[in-house]
A and B are shown apart, each in its own frame.
Chain A
């Protein structure tokens, strides 16, 4: 055992390996990617024995591969981001009917905000739709325990299990005790055993549906009283008591018990811990329910509130707190016990109102009267929660529904007046941009130059090159989902045949979901030009290898799949290659492909700047720069700035461009854009 500072995604890799996982597969996507990379690293270091880890071509490929491994008894882990589950959903929906043998855990990271995603979809809902249990951690530590428990749960019931953290969990770090070496759990001796249940026929699906229904009932029970209930915490706080103290005293567990007839008793029972003596004191009438990272925000907010109250000699009223880590199936009996005696409950969760709906359904089924305040009553239904926001909301909630005397000092963190007024006037916005020296910049620019005045709809895709939409390139007009650029361009070509349709796709995306679109263009004869921006990596998510690189996570090198060969095999007749850092060559190549009638392709090849050593930085010559700003307005490299004060022989008072040596990576594109040969290798010597 070693204590280590780990990002949650890294820690979860350790958790899965400690649980004996044998096969790990997925597709990169923020905020999920570091998990697989950590497994690969531990494997490469010789510390994770017996594990197979891979980036699959896409999420569907990964999950299907794991289904096979699981039928043979291996413990399996799938990883992706929320939208990745859309791609794998075809497999998941039926896999749940077929069931699994070796524990199969899906690690699906949601992204409220969204911070790095195209949707705010809620995987808890997806679990409900697919009828797959979902665990939802509120801290990295809890996630660590959940990953391990998820494998047990999966095998206990033969079901896939989803662990769904959100970005603020995935990318939070803290210290973990982890094992120095791990071993994949041995495979069962009998290996894969033939059984009709592995074949999904309609009649079998009808039977399986019943099995799913029954196992979800059992899991629901476990979430209320057995092992899984460790993730559902109830804390009852007496008037004026500190929350952290109550959490420590009550041991955070209270269990709804079944009586002799197997019915849940209506009486609350606390597990070996004191319940406050409500014979003499008034019990709580209000409750707080939270899930995911919002539960951590609630705990922080309560601490602020306690301090505010104490400052004015006031105290908080009694309340009951419930944290739900098993949103699906919803722990109804536990919730029923929680609601006992409460008049009003406020619910904090991000994305969809899953917990709120669960509460309402439970109340409906049992005829419980209680008021539920959630997103349908004005709380957040999109974006992220925060300590600040929850603090403000809790305060009004307690004042209104617990009749509490709340501190007049209404100050919430963040309520103060800003230290600098009008920040927007002082600071330029700083959106993400293509890196200095990024070869995509040259590709976009060359295509634009080749198109000239010709009307076109450049269709973009998901990856770094989405950033090609920013000024001054303005080179991307659409972005939908992975691989869609190629197929959307075909739609445009059908209805706007007078325009030239150009699609941009990355190399990793090309393999993940570009191939069917290209086959479609060739088959149906759509006049589009596909620009493959081949930078030899999956750049946006942190430089993962893919089929076109030949590098695998197991450390082997295979023959890379040749993009040009694939295009040719699919029947694309005009295929040209270009080095995007060679501007004229790229413009000529683009012109050729764009001029071709019928599907054509340009492969722009140059490695991502993350992969290569920078070349010597370039400099703007003071005596030559005219201040025309072409280098800025044409290509917008972040290493090129403009100084209004700088003066030189030819710039008069227009100002001059300068290159930040801390950012320039010497790609040389700006040299080819400057009309006055003012950008050169040697610095000025004065």
Chain B
């Protein structure tokens, strides 16, 4: 069984990323289930997509990943990665975007919410548990691609390139072709290449 969590802030595109992973798993002949956060939380709240793959041919029963069983957490925002750590397996991997997204609650408060602090906490936590951490500075990629909407693909591609999810770059591309709206396919494939060629 392979369990993956995609976490972020409502509007960042975790739903599509979960679809792409599910498509890739299905192409490998695995049973797959995903679950989404839809509703109020999509308005800038914390969102989580669950992806579960029966990688040993076993049936997948529940749609949700249980705590301490996620093989990988792919985070579109590092604070959300921290929030979802209770789901990570001891040896699991976290692939996270570097930049924090400041919620209104943080802007209103006097306590700073800074990228450095969050990344540091993540690093310390995973060093202690023996998990893997990959921090992705997505900004240069997004600039190169000229499209901020590619954040989800940049992160998926990083996770694949680092071996955090058991898929090849080609399998990922195939799944993108099957899931993404035709006019965005090229841009997303370019995003995968940009990350893979790095």
Knowing A387-B62, A426-B121, say if A420 contacts B82 (CB, 8 Å): yes
Residue of B nearest to A302 (CB): B61
Task: Establish whether residues A432 and B19, one from each chain, have CB atoms under 8 Å apart when the complex forms.
Answer: no
Q: Are B104 and A470 in contact (CB under 8 A)?
A: yes
Asked whether B169 is an interface residue with its Cβ less than 8 Å from the other chain, the reply is: no
In the complex the two chains form, what is the Cα distance from A135 to B128 in whole Å? 48
Which residues on the A side are within 8 Å of B156 (C-beta)?
A: none
Least CB distance from B82 to A in Å reads 5
Task: Give the residues in chain B near A456, CB-CB below 8 Å.
Answer: none
Contacting pair B125 A419 (CB below 8 A): yes
Among the 9-residue stretches A146-154, A354-362, A640-648, the one with 4 or more Cβ atoms under 8 Å from chain B is A640-648
Among A116, A470, A638, A644, the one with the most B-chain Cβ atoms within 10 Å of its Cβ is A638
When distances are taken between beta carbons in the complex, the residues of chain A under 8 Å from B121 are 420, 426
Across-interface contacts of A433 in B (CB, < 8 A): 43-45, 103-104
Q: Are A432's CB and B69's CB within 8 A?
A: no
Give the docked Cα–Cα distance between A471 and B105 (Å): 8
Q: Mark B82-93, 1 if CB is under 8 A from A, else 0.
A: 110110101000
Digit string of A447-475 for contact with B (CB within 8 Å is 1, else 0)? 00000000000000000100100111000
Decide yes or no whether A121 CB sits under 8 A from chain B.
no
Q: Which of B30-38, B158-166, B187-195 contacts A (4 or more CB under 8 A)?
A: B30-38
Report yes or no: A641 in contact with B107, Cβ–Cβ below 8 A: yes
Also in contact, A30 and B39, with CB within 8 A (given A174-B34, A420-B82): yes
A244–B67 Cα distance when bound, in Å, is: 22
Cβ-defined contact, B63 with A172, below 8 A: yes
Chain B residues with Cβ below 8 Å from A414 are: 66-68, 86
Q: Within residues 106 to 125 of chain B, which ones have a CB less than 8 A from any CB in chain A?
A: 106-109, 111-113, 117-118, 121-122, 124-125
A residues contacting B by CB (< 8 A) are: 3, 5, 7, 30-31, 115-116, 139, 167-169, 171-175, 244, 293, 296-297, 299-300, 303-304, 386-388, 391, 413-416, 418-420, 423, 426-435, 464, 467, 470-472, 540, 542, 632-633, 636-638, 640-642, 644, 657, 660, 662-663
A297 to B61 Cα, complex, angstroms: 7
- Interface residue? B74 (CB, 8 A): no
Within 8 Å by CB of A168, from B40, B42, B63, lies B63
B64 contacts the other chain (CB 8 A): yes
- The interface centre, meaning the residue of B82, B83, B107, B122 with most chain A CB atoms within 10 A of its CB, is B107
User: Would you call A171 and B36 a contact (CB within 8 A)?
Assistant: yes
- Which residue of chain B has the shortest Cβ distance to A661 in the bound complex? B148
Decide yes or no whether B41 CB sits under 8 A from chain A: yes
Say whether chain B's binding surface is mostly helix, strand, loop, or mixed. Answer: mixed
Judging by beta carbons under 8 Å apart, are A427 and B113 in contact?
yes
**Alpha-carbon distance between A423 and B84 when the two chains are bound, in angstroms:** 10
**How many residues in B have their beta carbons less than 8 Å from beta carbons of A?**
66
Residues of A within 8 A of B46 (CB): 430
- Asked if B168 CB lies within 8 Å of chain A CBs, one says no
CA of A29 to CA of B36, assembled, Å: 16
Report which of B33, B64, B103 forms a contact with A173, defined as CB distance below 8 A.
B33
The answer on a CB contact under 8 Å between B113 and A432 is no
Q: Which residues of B lie under 8 Å from residue A139 when comparing CB positions?
A: 61
Whole-angstrom CA separation of A167 from B63 in the bound complex: 11
Instruction: Decide: B62 and A435 in contact? CB cutoff 8 A.
Output: no
**Are B108 and A633 in touch, CB under 8 angstroms?**
yes
| A420 contact from B38, B85, B111, Cβ within 8 A | B85
Instruction: With A300-B66, A388-B66 as known contacts, state yes or no: A642 contacts B40, CB within 8 Å.
Output: no
A638 contact set on B, CB distance < 8 A = 44, 103-104
Task: Tell me the bound Cα distance from A644 to B116 in angstroms.
Answer: 14
In the complex, are the beta carbons of A430 and B118 less than 8 A apart? no
